[in-house]
Amino acid sequence: MRYLVWALRLIVFFAVLMFALKNTAPVVVAFYGDVSLQNVPLIVVMLSTFVMGTVFGLLLTVPASIRRRREAARLKKELDRIHHAVSPESDSRPSSDTVVPLSPL
Protein backbone atom coordinates (compact mmCIF):
# COMPACT_ATOMS: atom_id res chain seq x y z
CA MET A 1 0.00 0.00 0.00
CA ARG A 2 2.87 2.35 0.82
CA TYR A 3 4.33 1.83 -2.65
CA LEU A 4 0.99 2.62 -4.26
CA VAL A 5 0.75 5.91 -2.33
CA TRP A 6 4.28 6.90 -3.35
CA ALA A 7 3.57 5.95 -6.98
CA LEU A 8 0.46 8.14 -6.96
CA ARG A 9 2.43 11.01 -5.41
CA LEU A 10 5.10 10.65 -8.09
CA ILE A 11 2.49 10.66 -10.86
CA VAL A 12 0.82 13.77 -9.45
CA PHE A 13 4.20 15.48 -9.06
CA PHE A 14 5.14 14.82 -12.69
CA ALA A 15 1.69 15.92 -13.90
CA VAL A 16 1.99 19.21 -12.00
CA LEU A 17 5.57 19.65 -13.22
CA MET A 18 4.54 19.15 -16.85
CA PHE A 19 1.59 21.49 -16.37
CA ALA A 20 3.92 24.13 -14.92
CA LEU A 21 6.40 23.79 -17.77
CA LYS A 22 3.65 24.17 -20.38
CA ASN A 23 2.10 27.27 -18.74
CA THR A 24 4.98 29.71 -18.51
CA ALA A 25 3.52 32.34 -20.82
CA PRO A 26 3.53 35.83 -19.31
CA VAL A 27 0.14 37.29 -18.44
CA VAL A 28 -1.13 40.59 -17.07
CA VAL A 29 -2.85 40.42 -13.69
CA ALA A 30 -5.22 43.38 -13.40
CA PHE A 31 -6.56 44.42 -10.01
CA TYR A 32 -9.21 47.06 -9.30
CA GLY A 33 -8.52 50.42 -10.85
CA ASP A 34 -5.31 50.92 -12.75
CA VAL A 35 -3.21 48.58 -10.63
CA SER A 36 -1.81 45.65 -12.58
CA LEU A 37 1.15 43.30 -12.63
CA GLN A 38 2.86 42.88 -15.97
CA ASN A 39 4.53 39.71 -17.31
CA VAL A 40 3.66 37.31 -14.50
CA PRO A 41 4.01 33.64 -15.51
CA LEU A 42 0.62 31.96 -15.80
CA ILE A 43 1.62 29.08 -13.54
CA VAL A 44 2.50 31.53 -10.74
CA VAL A 45 -0.96 33.06 -10.98
CA MET A 46 -2.66 29.66 -11.02
CA LEU A 47 -0.64 28.22 -8.14
CA SER A 48 -1.06 31.33 -6.00
CA THR A 49 -4.84 31.27 -6.44
CA PHE A 50 -4.85 27.56 -5.59
CA VAL A 51 -2.84 28.19 -2.40
CA MET A 52 -5.03 31.13 -1.38
CA GLY A 53 -8.16 29.04 -1.94
CA THR A 54 -6.74 26.22 0.16
CA VAL A 55 -5.84 28.61 2.99
CA PHE A 56 -9.28 30.23 2.95
CA GLY A 57 -10.93 26.81 2.89
CA LEU A 58 -8.92 25.69 5.91
CA LEU A 59 -9.74 28.92 7.73
CA LEU A 60 -13.43 28.20 7.21
CA THR A 61 -13.08 24.89 9.07
CA VAL A 62 -11.46 26.44 12.17
CA PRO A 63 -14.70 27.53 13.94
CA ALA A 64 -16.29 24.09 13.54
CA SER A 65 -13.12 22.41 14.82
CA ILE A 66 -13.01 24.64 17.89
CA ARG A 67 -16.70 23.97 18.52
CA ARG A 68 -16.14 20.19 18.33
CA ARG A 69 -13.20 20.37 20.76
CA ARG A 70 -15.25 22.39 23.25
CA GLU A 71 -18.13 19.94 23.00
CA ALA A 72 -15.79 16.96 23.51
CA ALA A 73 -14.25 18.58 26.60
CA ARG A 74 -17.71 19.35 27.99
CA LEU A 75 -18.90 15.79 27.40
CA LYS A 76 -15.75 14.37 29.01
CA LYS A 77 -16.30 16.50 32.12
CA GLU A 78 -19.92 15.38 32.26
CA LEU A 79 -18.90 11.73 31.91
CA ASP A 80 -16.37 12.11 34.73
CA ARG A 81 -19.01 13.76 36.92
CA ILE A 82 -21.50 10.95 36.25
CA HIS A 83 -18.83 8.31 36.84
CA HIS A 84 -17.92 9.78 40.21
CA ALA A 85 -21.61 10.11 41.14
CA VAL A 86 -22.24 6.44 40.39
CA SER A 87 -19.18 5.03 42.15
CA PRO A 88 -17.67 7.64 44.45
CA GLU A 89 -15.74 5.16 46.65
CA SER A 90 -13.39 3.70 44.03
CA ASP A 91 -12.20 4.82 40.67
CA SER A 92 -12.17 1.53 38.78
CA ARG A 93 -11.77 3.23 35.43
CA PRO A 94 -8.27 2.70 33.95
CA SER A 95 -6.14 5.79 33.62
CA SER A 96 -5.14 7.17 30.26
CA ASP A 97 -1.57 5.94 30.91
CA THR A 98 -2.63 2.31 31.25
CA VAL A 99 -1.74 0.15 28.28
CA VAL A 100 -4.59 -2.13 27.27
CA PRO A 101 -3.62 -5.14 25.14
CA LEU A 102 -5.54 -5.47 21.92
CA SER A 103 -6.50 -8.73 20.31
CA PRO A 104 -5.01 -9.37 16.87
CA LEU A 105 -7.29 -9.01 13.90
pLDDT band at 22 (very low <50, low <70, confident <90, very high): confident
Please give the Cα distance from 68 to 87 (Å, whole number).
28
Please give the Cα distance from 70 to 85 (Å, whole number).
23
Q: Which residues contact 43 (CB under 8 A, 6 or more apart)?
A: 19, 20, 23, 24
- Share the mean pLDDT of the chain: 86
Averaged over 75-101, what is the pLDDT?
A: 76
pLDDT band at 101 (very low <50, low <70, confident <90, very high): low
pTM: 0.56
In this predicted structure, the answer to whether residue 70 has a pLDDT above a threshold of 90 is: yes
The amino acid sitting at 84 is H
Q: 14-33 burial by CB neighbour count: b if 16+ within 10 A, else e?
A: eeeeeeeeeeeeebeeeeee
Please give the Cα distance from 104 to 92 (Å, whole number).
25
